[in-house]
Structure 1
Amino acid sequence: MLTNLRGASPLSETMSDNTLERQRAERALIAKTSSLPHKNSGLRNYSDKNGNEVSKSLYRGRKTFAFWTLVCLLFVLAIGNLILTFTILAVLRLGHGLESMEFLPEHNAIKFFGDTNLDHVYKKDGLIESFKDVPMSINSESGAVVFNLQTRLSRSDTRLTVNASGVFVRGVNSFELTEPETGETVFSTSSAELTLSEAVNNLVAKQVSTKRISSPVDEDLLLRSDTSVHLQGAEGTHMESKTLHWSADQDIYLKSINGSIVLSGKEGVFIDVRYLPIAAPLTRTGGVGQFKVCVCMPQGKLFRVAVPSGQKVTCSHVNMTGDLNPCL
């Protein structure tokens, strides 16, 4: 019986070792394979507006782009704010202080040096002054200078406007201009007369509405215009002088609507006929001895008619045809 017992052969031991190693490798592969789905299950996919899946790495790239875009935008805003700050400093001339402005708290005033450009100025007391020995000049470029007195909020009851057309005062009972040193009234709307001082030789105005214009007895009154002068009175115009002299380059036109025109002088009325037009006669005549002054009716235009010596000529002996008509 003992003869049937055999020991383990070397070949069988080698096969058993290979089988064990193969089983261990298969178990490791199975364990690794089973762990892969569990690892991938932690990744979440994201979808865009079209429903396409976007991986997490792409989403992180978009967040990085948005971050740097915000950083660049803040940098641009900071540069713009810096430029604006330097511009304000340059306009206001700010350094250690204000170059063209000084505050005087004890006098409740502000002192300006040089030229100051302001759009609107508000003064509670309505007083704008300059230095005693320096005149103050207020200018406006392509516009008017307007002074308003506001008695209520957002309502201007009184206005003084200075523009290229003139000076206009509205909403006041009286307006006065006074000399600051002497206190003398230079001009006042409440005064019935406007007296020009010795320093004022000429008064230049486009239109003057007044009741009376006069000059001293020993001085002349001169009314002159480069184009034309119109004297008009609501109830007539009366001129009185020792010598009244009218001269014009073209015509002197007198017109009365409701009354008549009266030219009266103590020593007579004289007209310089050298510049009056000469009307052409109906027929040719000989030598001219003198002229007769005629008046066109109703135009009132004066013209001359040649009167030969020894002949009787009236104003009707004039050629009134075409361009020869002296009344045209």
Structure 2
Amino acid sequence: MDAQNEFFSLSRFWNLLKYDFNKYRLYYMAIIPTAMLAIGVILWISFPETEQPDGYYAKLGFLPIDSAIYLSPWKKSTYTFFFFLGFILFGITIVGNSFPNLKSSRGMNTLLCLPASTFEKYFSQWLVRLFLFVVLYPIVFKISANLAVDIYLSHKAAEFNNYGVPLSMLPKIGKFELSDLLGNESHSLLSTISLFSLPLLGVSILFAGSIVFKKHNLFLGPLSVLALATAGLLLLKVLPQNKEDYWASDLIEITPHLNFFGTQIPLSMFFGIILTGMGSICCWLLAYFTFKKQEV
């Protein structure tokens, strides 16, 4: 067997994926429906129940409507909070549970005996638990949120008909679009990268923690992410706030924005993307070499 085949074999990797799916079949089959149900329920109880003529939504505790409690209007940007809340919670439960065999000595022995290379075992978990989560979660959230809107409005229309409430009082709840996460940013591509770079770093830390902390990762992993986020916020507090303070030398004249392929972007965003990207890669390398060391 040559060195390349010892490192990675497509047929061997495919067999490893099939083994992993068969072993955790119920988990993989249930995770997406469970996530969709959880997202739908949380949004359902958060949606407003009616809209008053002045444009403000009201929560109907009891009919008639004049007993309603007024709430702020539901905007499409309101989805942002729920999107990242779900990303955090499902990231902890899915990515944080990578390498489940490492949680016990028996599982570790089973993992060592699998006919696959160290890289194949590592890459299968990275692909299924981290990469697919990052790719599929926005799609699952969008489908779940928009289904929840359709079902909710249909339910409220039937309820209004039963109580004789005009259908014009139905709340106006917009459908969720991934582009809504970007707000009104003009440089949308870089905004997208910046928006997801921090969550990617967070789940990368959880992924590495599943090897480093093993069965304690569900506690120590989020704690590590929280510690890093706190350190980042403290760093922002001590950084200078005006461009003159960025450089002590008068020989260097620079603005706080960078021309990136014709787009003016803040230096903080540019370096933030680089640092979080490098941090994610470092987490993946740490996870791989720690896993490799444990297999020796």
TM-score class, shorter: under 0.3
Larger proportion of helix: 2
- Pick 1 or 2: higher relative contact order, CA cutoff 8 A, min separation 6: 2
Q: Structure 1 length normalisation: TM-score?
A: 0.14
Q: Structure 2 length normalisation: TM-score?
A: 0.16
Larger proportion of strand: 1
